[in-house]
Amino acid sequence: MARVTLEKVTKVYAGNSKPSVGGSTGIDLDIQDREFIVLVGPSGCGKSTTLRMVAGLEEISGGTIRIGDRIVNDVPPKDRDIAMVFQNYALYPHMTVYKNMAFGLQLRRKELGLSREQIHERVLEIARVLGISDYLDRKPKALSGGQRQRVAVGRAIVRNPKAFLFDEPLSNLDAKLRVETRAEIKKLHLRLQTTTIYVTHDQEEAMTLGDRIVVMKEGQIQQCAPPLEVYEHPVNRFVASFVGTPPMNFLDGRIATQGSEGTCFTFGNQRIRLNGDLARAASKYLGKPLVLGVRPESLSPANTGKFVGEENRIVVKVNVVEPLGDRVDIHLGIENDVEALPLVCRADAYEFGKLQVGSIIRIHLDLGRVHLFEPGEPGVNVTMTQEHRHAAA
């Protein structure tokens, strides 16, 4: 177990003049001992490259990587005392499950000071923990995808390394197996308490697994914070749109004053009256364009509870109703201007599942969970407090 630290780390590929990972300032990331941290982002954002640099499978172009108290920039992968689980399992097809799990320990038995009996006991214990004791005599071709993945995880765990590195280990599994194996990985971390760095493009995986999640885009870290913090207080529009299913809704408009109504967000011929911290943040942008962001669950066709009020409603047209069991996703648009303002509202299916397509309804917003972003890139969240900005760093 160890702390893993990246300081100003960059990666420049041959033929490029600028870093593909790290940007001009490099990647700064401090992963605490026993922490489970998840790197998440779209394909090509640099998350796997970052993981491979920690593993030593990619040379860094600049900066410093520490595992524990040791700088490992020039240390070979086999000497970094880490274990990696790959997307494609990477099992030896001619070996049994037992031999796959024991192979790494047997190669370094004398170096690690382990007897054959100790290796045998360790393999049996990890197999029991992972529920693969009955498969120890089988070869990988006789296993299902989920079983092979557990063998790959077991081969990493049996070494008892300072850190585990997972590179999209569940992407080859079907949906049911992904959920089951994800839960197993979480339980294993709680039991073993080993520093873990996990890469995925699936934001649901990231939210459920990580103590903190690191959202990346184009080789740079956009936000690093606990999952709920990232969800509730995204630092910019990219993070807001990437984290959450369905993604956050965005409305392009302007900030204006409407007589006695005070500060309002206006779009088309409609307006939303802002209050409290939202109004104070917006007042600095009077007459200027801003983008209003609201999660699907923060919209409701009902004028009740936290959604009560006439000042926080907009008139929309029902385009599509998608049943999801006890919930329903209602796809909406401004009347006569559907393309300009698509919205998704997630609501109670028993109450709103029978809404008629084409009907005109009023949608109410929970103003306590609305965000305002600057237009364009990066689309900074102007409603974040200093406390939340500090947590996002």
> Are residues 138 and 212 located together in one domain of the fold?
yes
How many Å is the Cα radius of gyration of the chain?
25
Same domain, 194 and 269: no
Alpha-carbon span 223 to 41, nearest angstrom:
11
Burial of 377 by CB count in 10 Å (0-12 exposed, 13-18 middle, 19+ buried)?
exposed
Both tokens assigned to 177:
């197996």
Q: At what angle do helices 145-157 and 175-192 cross, to 10 degrees?
A: 20
CA 260 to chain centre: 42
Do 262 and 192 belong to one domain?
no
C-alpha span between 207 and 226 (Å, rounded) = 8
For residues 104 and 120, membership in a common domain is answered with yes
Residue 220 shares a structural domain with residue 305: no
For residue 43, count other CB atoms closer than 10 A to its CB: 7
Give, for all 393 residues of the chain, the pLDDT tens digit. Answer: 689 999 999 999 887 878 889 887 899 999 999 999 999 999 989 999 999 999 999 999 999 999 998 999 999 998 898 988 888 778 899 999 999 999 988 888 888 788 999 999 999 988 988 889 999 999 999 998 888 888 988 888 888 888 999 998 888 778 887 888 888 888 888 888 899 999 999 989 999 999 999 999 999 999 999 999 999 999 999 999 999 989 999 999 999 987 666 889 998 888 899 988 888 899 899 999 999 999 999 999 987 777 777 778 889 999 999 999 999 999 998 865 545 578 999 999 998 888 899 999 999 999 989 999 999 888 999 998 655 555 565
**Same domain for 216 and 309?**
no
Domain range for 374 is 242-392
Tell me the two tokens of residue 362: 């009023």
The pair phi, psi for residue 315, each rounded to 5°, is -95, 130
Q: How many domains does the chain have?
A: 2
User: H or E segment at 360?
Assistant: strand 360-365
Backbone angles phi, psi at 267, to 5 degrees: -155, 130
Strands across the sheet with 360-365, in order?
Answer: 299-300, 360-365, 313-324, 327-334, 337-348
With H, G, I as helix, E, B as strand and everything else as coil, classify residue 238. helix
Q: Are 208 and 173 found together in one domain?
A: yes
Residues 88 and 237 in one domain: yes
Do residue 221 and residue 246 come from a single domain? no
Contact 5, 29 (CB under 8 A): yes
Q: SS3 of 30, please?
A: strand
Tell me: do 194 and 121 sit in the same domain. yes
User: Could you tell me if 97 and 175 lie in one domain?
Assistant: yes
Q: Does one domain contain both 284 and 161?
A: no
* Alpha carbon distance 331, 241 (integer Å): 16
Q: Kindly report the backbone phi and psi dihedral angles of residue 120, in degrees, each rounded to the nearest multiple of 5, phi listed first.
A: -60, -45
Q: Which CATH number do you get for residue 319?
A: 2.40.50.100
